Amino acid sequence: MAQISAPKGTQDILPRDSGRWLQVENIIRELCAQYGFREIRTPVFEHTEVFVRGVGETTDVVTKEMYTFEDKGGRSVTLRPEGTAGIVRAFVENGLFNEALPTKLYYLIQCFRYEKPQKGRLREFHQFGVELFGAPDPITDATVISLPYRLFQKVGLRGISLELNSIGCKECRGKYREALISYFEKDQEKLCPTCRERLEKNPMRILDCKSEICREVAKDAPLITDYLCGDCEAHFTAVKDYLTTMGIEYKVNPRIVRGLDYYNRTVFEFVSDQIGAQGTVCGGGRYDGMTEQFGGAPQPGIGFAMGMERFMLVLEQAGVELPAERSCDLFLIPLGDNACKEAVKLTARLLDEGAKVQYDLLRRSVKAQMKYADKIGAACTAVLGDSELEEGTVTVKNMLNGNQEKIALSALNSKWLEEFIK
């Protein structure tokens, strides 16, 4: 039969890479725990309305990129294109605001967007993100921003810059909107069709357009930072001060508006110049009041999402080596039926003690088994033959330094093994 290939824009993460993913995920989980963020898991699909309300009707995600379909019950459902909307839905629905505030949540999830696949842009991809509810103070913004910053530091990544902006509140944006419309109106016919539509519905979106021509037209557009009200200005200044206090460098980029409709005040991106056009590894911002979109009481919120594929690309590009986990402590090489039985017993004991132990399943020659042990990266091997069994001993070989030691079978335990590998 003919082979079937994976759908366009998807990617298998094979065992040779999944170890690295797991390591990075473990670092992320540990860091989140340090900050007091706890994991939330929401459904992979939601009622389509969740994303229309939560991401915003005029966004690229909602207008062009969603995997939406009708289920057998005739409901419109959508595979999540991002994490925040579903989490805000869950926050309101489960009354998490009744528990200790602020609520600190994190997620590691798959997302789905119908996009043109390129390097760092897939149709199924992974995001790590956090959401923090109930804290309006600028100290919160800086704290949330410090988490990805600390993650980059922790894995030894340099050359990722933090770009920061404030897009104000409804009031600031009302005035800014007017200014943008009168700026873009004169060059209306030069804009791409999508941006022409945006001009009426959401002119700020034009600043986020990837088309070269629209970028050129937007070159001298008014800057939101010139339209901030007193409160928003003070908030922005305080966020910057806290970042400075934390020793975190940033660059104010008044052109960052972010792709999702619900942001207000602080928005930010961590950008790498190492992986080409798709350089934004992490983006986030404040979304006060989004809970109201889901029928909840107003709650301030702030968060970010990091593209894991892009993060992995940057790590690879930078040659970052993560301490590799040992895949196998001991590989047993039994010769004959009796030896196989002994291997099974010994392995059961060592597994229960916490060691990573495997044995041959194919009754291959010693040489072939040795080769296999080497391929899987076993730290030690031990041949179990008739003479060893009679003696009740076993000779363990350290594959890393070549040392050998003969010990009583009964003395071979995980503690001894750990010492021997060191």
Kindly state whether residue 334 participates in binding ligand ATP, applying the rule CB under 6 A.
Answer: no
Residue nearest to ligand ATP (CB): 307
CA atoms within 13 A on the CB side of 322: 21
Using CB under 6 A as the binding rule, whether residue 144 contacts ligand ATP is answered as no
Q: Do the beta carbons of residue 39 and residue 105 sit within 8 Å?
A: yes
Q: How far is the CB of 160 from ligand ATP (least distance, A)?
A: 12
Minimum distance of ligand ATP from residue 345's CB (angstroms) = 48
**15-35 helix and 138-154 helix, angle to the nearest 10 degrees:** 140
Strands 103-112 and 124-133: antiparallel
Q: Which residues pair with 105 in a beta bridge?
A: 38, 131
Q: Which of 261, 309, 342, 388 binds ligand ATP (CB under 6 A)?
A: 309
CB of 55 to ligand ATP, least distance (A): 8
- Determine, following the binding rule CB under 6 A, whether residue 148 of this chain makes contact with ligand ATP: no
Residues in a beta bridge with 303: 131, 285
The per-type count for the chain, helices as H runs and strands as E runs, is 14, 16
Does residue number 310 form part of the binding site for ligand ATP (CB under 6 A)?
A: yes
Q: Which of 53, 89, 113, 265 binds ligand ATP (CB under 6 A)?
A: 113
Please report, as residue ranges, which positions from 279 to 298 form the binding site for ligand ATP (by CB under 6 A).
Answer: 280-283
Interface with ligand ATP: number of residues (CB under 6 A): 18
> If binding is defined by CB under 6 A, does position 305 make contact with ligand ATP?
yes
Q: What is the rounded distance in angstroms from the CA atom of residue 357 to the CA atom of residue 396?
A: 13
Answer yes or no whether residue 121 interacts with ligand ATP by CB under 6 A: yes
Decide: helix, strand or coil at residue 256: coil
**Using CB under 6 A as the criterion, what x/- string covers residues 230-259 for binding ligand ATP?**
-----------------------------x
Is there binding between residue 122 and ligand ATP (CB under 6 A)?
yes
Enumerate long-range contacts of 397-400, CB under 8 Å, 24 or more apart: 399/373, 399/374
**Do the beta carbons of residue 312 and residue 375 sit within 8 Å?**
no
The tokens for 346 are 């010994």
- What contacts 24+ positions apart, CB below 8 Å, involve 63-67? 63/194, 64/114, 65/113, 65/114, 65/115, 66/113, 66/114, 67/112, 67/113, 67/114
The dihedrals phi and psi of 156, each to the nearest 5 degrees, come to 80, 25
Q: What is the DSSP letter of 65?
A: I
The nearer residue to ligand ATP, 17 or 374, going by C-beta atoms, is: 17
Would you say 89 or 113 has its CB closer to ligand ATP?
113
Stretch that binds ligand ATP, among 16-24, 301-309, 312-320, 339-347 (CB under 6 A): 301-309
Shortest distance, CB of residue 164 to ligand ATP, whole angstroms?
15
Q: Which residues contact 40 (CB under 8 A, 6 or more apart)?
A: 87, 90, 105, 106, 107, 131
Q: Which is nearer to ligand ATP, 67 or 416 (CB)?
A: 67
Q: Which is nearer to ligand ATP, 109 or 339 (CB)?
A: 109
Q: Does 307 bind ligand ATP (CB under 6 A)?
A: yes
Q: Near ligand ATP by CB under 6 A, which window of 20-28, 94-102, 114-122, 356-364?
A: 114-122
Closer to ligand ATP by Cβ: residue 57 or 386: 57
Residues that bind ligand ATP (CB under 6 A): 82, 113, 115, 120-122, 125, 127, 259, 278, 280-283, 305, 307, 309-310
